[in-house]
Amino acid sequence: MNREARVGATFTTGFRTAGFAEWNRFAAVNDEFVPIHMDDDEGRAAGYPGAIGMGRLQWSYAHNLLREWLAGEGRIVSVALRFTGPQLKSVDFAPFGRVAALRGEEVDLDVWIEDAEGRCSRRAGRR
């Protein structure tokens, strides 16, 4: 991963997929056995192509990205993430970050989660 603290530098943990294997594990620790995350019919009834991933799991993936970028040097001060679209089963996605500003010992980062076609499902900032 590119850990360069230069405005404009981008970094990612790379593309991956998630589905019921990941969602069930997360449901088990976050009490999220919610039909919309577990059942394609429930996802369709709610207006999506099928079951959708948990927003809180995407929140964790964004934190994983930040932790990997920090590599133990510093800490996460704040994160804001807006959920702009669903994460669907077995669709490739990747968390990305970009250095937005350097402010003394703090770094502002733009963080987002993007699918293979460049659509964003989550946008975030971290300081």
Q: Check residue 80 for interaction with other proteins (CB under 8 A).
A: yes
Give the residue carrying structure tokens 């350097």. 102
| Inter-residue contact 20 to 89 (CB < 8 Å) | yes
| Inter-residue contact 104 to 88 (CB < 8 Å) | no
Stretch that binds other proteins, among 1-9, 48-56, 97-105, 113-121 (CB under 8 A): 48-56
Q: Check residue 5 for interaction with other proteins (CB under 8 A).
A: no
| Inter-residue contact 127 to 110 (CB < 8 Å) | no
Q: Check residue 63 for interaction with other proteins (CB under 8 A).
A: yes
Q: Check residue 28 for interaction with other proteins (CB under 8 A).
A: yes
- Concatenating the DSSP letter of every residue in 7-50 gives TT-EEE---B---HHHHHHHHHHHT---HHHH-HHHHHHTTSSS
Give me the least distance between CB of 22 and other proteins, in Å please.
6
Q: Check residue 61 for interaction with other proteins (CB under 8 A).
A: yes
Interface residues toward other proteins, by CB under 8 A? 21-22, 25-26, 28-31, 34-36, 46-47, 52, 54-57, 59-61, 63-64, 67, 72, 75-83
